[in-house]
Amino acid sequence: MTPPRKGRGGRPNNNINNSQYLQQYPVGVSDYESDNYYSFPDAQQQIQQLQLQQQQLQQQQQQLQQQQSSRTNEDLNNAVLRRHNPEIASILSLSPYVVVYAFNLESQGWEKTGMEGSMFVCQLVPEAYGQERYSVFVLNRRGLNNFDLHLTDENNVEITDEFVILKSDAKTAGFNSDDNNNNNNAEAGKIYGLWIYSEPPPNSTAETRKINAQVIKECAIHAGQSQLLAREKMAAEQHNGFQQPAQPPAPPPPPPPAAAGGDVLGDLFRRAGLGQQNL
């Protein structure tokens, strides 16, 4: 029998591929399937539960993304405005940029109030007798005070080439701040001018001033008619002896007597229109 060959340097050859070595020391076969952890029923059940939980988590994430994407800009605007005035029910119209002016009777000209920003024509929560209420709200980007004027009568609205002119009634107009959302401290009978930004056609804002002016006018008409119907209803209930709700809203005070041959409010509107030339 020939002795096994030696490696280089006289060392034995340790090559495991040697046929004689393999015959003398056979390699044992291991059953990996029986040793595999995942082959146990308990492990397979845990894996299925983890996969199910992962699928449920993915579905919840998809539903959350759909809810966030379905929230419109109107919903976001409503949420922001209600922080300042919780009585706002909905937004009827808006303009991205408006400057608020006040008419100075002494100088016969328009003066900036320091308020400008996005304007919203809003419908408010109805009053006790179902009176429709509307307001013009300007979210001021230059300070904490916002412009908030209630639309009560069509005679308090005048539309000119330059401005939408609004007259404030007592306790229906003013400036509110985050510290006091119901703080309406504008002077009764004061006249404001809303300069609504719009660009010439074919820009997207070409009709902004016209549309918002029309909506403001229509809201003032509806508010005046609704107030009139509410007063008639209150008068009928008082006449018939029905029980009245606690502290019903009082009717607005009568306008001051007009000077002979002229209309005071109409004269103020005409002066305000002429005051545009002083800008």
What local confidence, expressed as pLDDT, does residue 54 receive? 81
Confidence bin at 188 (pLDDT 50/70/90): low
Tokens of 249: 């809203």
Give the DSSP letter of residue 277: G
Tens-digit pLDDT profile for residues 13-60: 555 555 565 555 555 555 555 455 555 667 777 787 888 888 888 888
Q: Distance (Å, rounded) from C-alpha 109 to C-alpha 100?
A: 13
- Domains in the chain (CATH in brackets) are 74-175+189-232 (2.30.29.30)
Using alpha carbons, list the distances in angstroms from residue 199 to 97, 136, 140, 141, 210.
Answer: 11, 22, 21, 21, 11
First to last CA, the chain: 123
- Predicted TM-score (pTM) of this structure: 0.60
DSSP characters for 155-210?
A: GGEEE-SS-EEEEPPTTSEEEEBTTBTT---PPTT-EEEEEE----TTSTTTTHHH
Q: Distance (Å, rounded) from C-alpha 14 to C-alpha 156?
A: 109
